[in-house]
Amino acid sequence: MEKKDIKSWNQKELEEYLVSLGEKPFRAKQIYSWIHEKQAASFDEMTNISKKLKEDLKNTCRLVTLRQVTVQRSKVDGTEKYLFALDDGNMVESVLMRYHHGNSVCISSQAGCRMGCRFCASTLDGLVRNLTPSEMLDQVYRIQRAAGQRVSHVVVMGTGEPLDNYENLLKFIRLLTDEKGMHISQRNITVSTCGIVPNMARLAEEKLQITLALSLHASSQEQRLALMPVAKKYEIHQVVDACRDYFQKTGRRITFEYSLVAGVNDREADAARLAELIAGINCHVNLIPVNPVKERNYRQPEPRMVLNFKNKLEKYGINVTIRREMGRDIDGACGQLRKGFSERQGEV
């Protein structure tokens, strides 16, 4: 019998299971607190649980705990990139960023990705599998424990497309924000999507207070198609409309991510067209000079081009920031840590 993944369960599900083992319901509260509040890495840490129950749990359940394979620390800004191994040997990466407003962890939602964005390293080898809620949670738990500091913000912007793993993502968010668990504020969670329209609509209906970030990266359908195959399925205006709806239903301001690629989408005319495309949406644009990936030949625009682009958008009254590059000295683009590691393993 496959062991049960109890870290993916809410307190009610845990209680039902413990009662089925003949335990009292209050045990669920204790064990839930060990898992999600104290973030125990093993059943043995649960000191107020009887030996018998611990044995029962060990025999029938798994306490999914990621194994830290490597960590790289930036000397410039304290950013830390973690590579974790899952129980089946797959690897995922997560990043801790230290900001004035608190510590933020960027997590992966899938091992690999099937979206195929042209500039992204995470998708080069396709999707391996979805991560479970417990595997998403444990990236945050392990990092908070390793850093010895409270993590206050979580961004789902690592490897994978979160809205391609919708059910698990939702469970993860509910557990992460549970007041009896780590209790991260919904407002401090950002989910980034390449634009899976039906699931953006579903997410809007959940009425969560999380921030939705849309990876737009283009100002026309044609330009977006050249960078993001997902545009074949969902046309750019459909995606932008889904953002408009998300704001209307949740009151949460949208973030548009726009990777600037030299000679592809960085001209002033692109900025003007972008401003027109998103006009009237309560939003914020985050400009990200593209991070070069060695398998592709995309280049970052000159800093002066980036600034021009920002100024142009601002002239249209749009809120813009240029993303501060964190951990410049420790690695390249998203997904490169995991990919670099598996390639080096392959060479051995």
Residues annotated catalytic, as ranges: 93, 334
Q: How far apart are the first and last CA of the chain?
A: 35
Name the segment binding ligand SAH (CB under 6 A); options: 21-29, 176-184, 188-196, 202-210.
188-196
According to DSSP, residue 341 is labeled H
Residue 45 · residue 34 · CB < 8 Å: yes
Q: Give whole-number Cα distances, 237 to 55, 256, 258, 299, in Å.
A: 55, 14, 16, 27
Q: How far is CA 264 from CA 61, 248, 298, 327, in A?
A: 51, 32, 9, 26
User: Which residues inside 276-335 make contact with ligand SAH, applying CB under 6 A?
Assistant: 288, 290-291, 293, 333-334
Cβ proximity to ligand SAH, 29 vs 253, nearer residue: 253
Select 61 or 143, whichever has its Cβ closest to ligand SAH.
143
Interface with ligand SAH, residue 168, by CB under 6 A: no
Site pattern 257..276 for ligand SAH (x: CB under 6 A): x-x-----------------
- Asked whether position 117 contacts ligand SAH by CB under 6 A, the answer is yes
Between CA 214 and CA 184 the distance in angstroms is 22
- SS3 (DSSP) at 313: helix
CB of residue 211 vs ligand SAH: minimum separation in angstroms? 12
Determine if 194 is a binding residue for ligand SAH (CB under 6 A): yes
Interface residue with ligand SAH among 39, 79, 144, 192 (CB under 6 A) is 192
Quick one: which of 64, 48, 46, 56 has its CA closest to 22? 56
Q: How far is the CB of 195 from ligand SAH (least distance, A)?
A: 8
Stretch that binds ligand SAH, among 114-122, 144-152, 204-212, 314-322 (CB under 6 A): 114-122
Site for ligand SAH in 11-70 (CB under 6 A): none
Instruction: Rank residues 206 and 325 by Cβ distance to ligand SAH and give the closer one.
Output: 325
Beta strand extents in the chain (DSSP E only): 4-5, 61-62, 67-73, 80-85, 91-99, 102-106, 110-112, 127-130, 151-156, 189-193, 211-215, 254-260, 283-289, 320-322
Tell me 34's DSSP state: I
Task: Choose, by CB under 6 A, the member of 93, 135, 161, 331 that binds ligand SAH.
Answer: 161
Closer CB to ligand SAH, 105 or 288, in the complex: 288
The contacts of residue 260 (CB under 8 Å, 6+ apart) are 266, 287, 288, 289, 290, 300, 301, 305, 306, 309
* Interaction between residue 236 and ligand SAH (CB under 6 A): no
123 close to 116: Cβ distance less than 8 angstroms: yes
Q: Is 93 in the site for ligand SAH (CB under 6 A)?
A: no
Cβ-based nearer residue to ligand SAH, 49 or 200: 200
- Is 154 or 288 the residue whose CB approaches ligand SAH more closely? 288
Of 68-76, 117-125, 137-145, 238-246: span binding ligand SAH (CB under 6 A) = 117-125
Which burial class, exposed, middle or buried, applies to 28 when counting CB atoms under 10 A from its CB (0-12, 13-18, 19+)? buried
Residue 158 DSSP one-character state: S
- Which parts of this chain interact with ligand SAH (CB under 6 A)? 115, 117, 119-120, 157, 161, 192-194, 215, 257, 259, 288, 290-291, 293, 333-334
